[in-house]
Amino acid sequence: MPVVESSYVAPFGFGNGHVQTIYAALFRKMRAIGFERERIATPDADFLDLDWHRPQKSRRLVVISHGLESDSRDTGVVAMAKAFVEAGWDALAWNYRGCSGEVNLRPRSYHSGATEDLEAVVQHALATGRYERIALVGLSLGGNLTLKYLGDLGSRVDSRICASVNISAPCDIASSSMKLQSRSNAIYMRRFLRRLSAKVRSKMPLFPDEITDKGLKGMRTFEEFDNAYTAPLHGFADARDYWKRASSRPVLSRIAVPTLLVNAENDPFLAPECFPREEALASEAFTLEVPGSGGHLGFVTFRGGGRYWTEQRALDFVLSSGF
């Protein structure tokens, strides 16, 4: 599929990627929509908390995967679910391990390539017997996770999964991690590490022989954190091994369902390696869209009746894929 020209135009005064990123994260208001929470068990005796939005009792479902240190109640997640529900869909927004407000039961947590948990969620939804079509939407880390999931499955993907949309996805984790270490991104790095550090400390009493906060206070980069925690707790040799094996870019060519990746050119989190133009041009299923502006999960819109451009774009792409 091609690298398509984007229809997104930033509002006046919102051309800067940092402005878009911060405004959408801190100042966007979204009225909550009703949901039912369900807890499911994972094969390794842990749990995942799922938020269902299903007023329509539809035969179509969108599964939404959130970003790093976010959750199912994040404004962008709720807005995406609301857009699909208003179009007659059911929506399922799931929380990664430890992200629903309760410490998970295993030493491991979540990471950018933990596709086994997305698989558990999808299979649980399919097992209800209700859904004839399922779309997957991933935001930031959730975008890389979704792309990796579909790329790993390739042609073995369940025929009921018919489309995917991914926004601001760091599909090359190494380059994105290094870019976030730059001085201009210090505010984001501090925020992420503060939240990740709190997760580590909350699990220490449960696993005193496996998890320690030694050196945690002095960490300033994802590489330091991933070397100390993400890699050893999830079976990777080190941070670089984790970044390489969890990145979705190497498997984009294997994706077999209509898939859209929207990464803004001025996204402060994404390096050039996160814009896989060659893969899009060579693929029959994968489409890349690179708006000139938008920031990271920004794409601010003031004339959409509360709906941002990304929610409408995701809905339009899924509907154009035969839903």
How far apart are alpha carbons 170 and 44 in whole angstroms? Answer: 27
The pLDDT value recorded for residue 173 is 98
Q: SS3 for 28-67, per residue?
A: CCCCCCCCEEEEEECCCCCEEEEEEECCCCCCEEEEEECC
Does some domain include residue 239?
A: no
The C-alpha atoms of residue 119 and residue 141 are separated, in whole angstroms, by: 16
Residue-wise pLDDT for 115-168, tens only, equals 999 999 999 999 999 999 999 999 999 999 999 999 999 999 999 999 999 999
Residue 185 lies in a domain: no
CA distances (Å), 177 to each of 85, 222, 268, 271, 318, in order? 34, 6, 11, 9, 30
- Whether residue 213 lies inside any domain: the answer is no
CATH number, position 134: 3.40.50.1820
Distance of alpha carbon 147 from alpha carbon 199, whole angstroms: 26
**Structural domain includes residue 201:** no
How many independent structural domains does the chain possess? 1
pLDDT at residue 323, as a whole number = 67
Q: Does residue 143 belong to any structural domain of this protein?
A: yes
- pLDDT exceeds cutoff 70 at 1: no
Show the domain range for 255.
Answer: 3-177+248-320
Is residue 243 in a domain?
no
Q: Is 225 a member of any domain? A: no
Reported as a single tens digit per residue, the pLDDT across 41-91 is 999 999 999 999 998 789 999 999 999 999 999 999 999 999 999 999 999
Q: Is residue 159 part of a domain?
A: yes
Side-chain-side CA neighbours of 51 within 13 Å: the count stands at: 22
Query: Which is nearest to 162 in space by CA: 250, 59, 67?
Result: 59
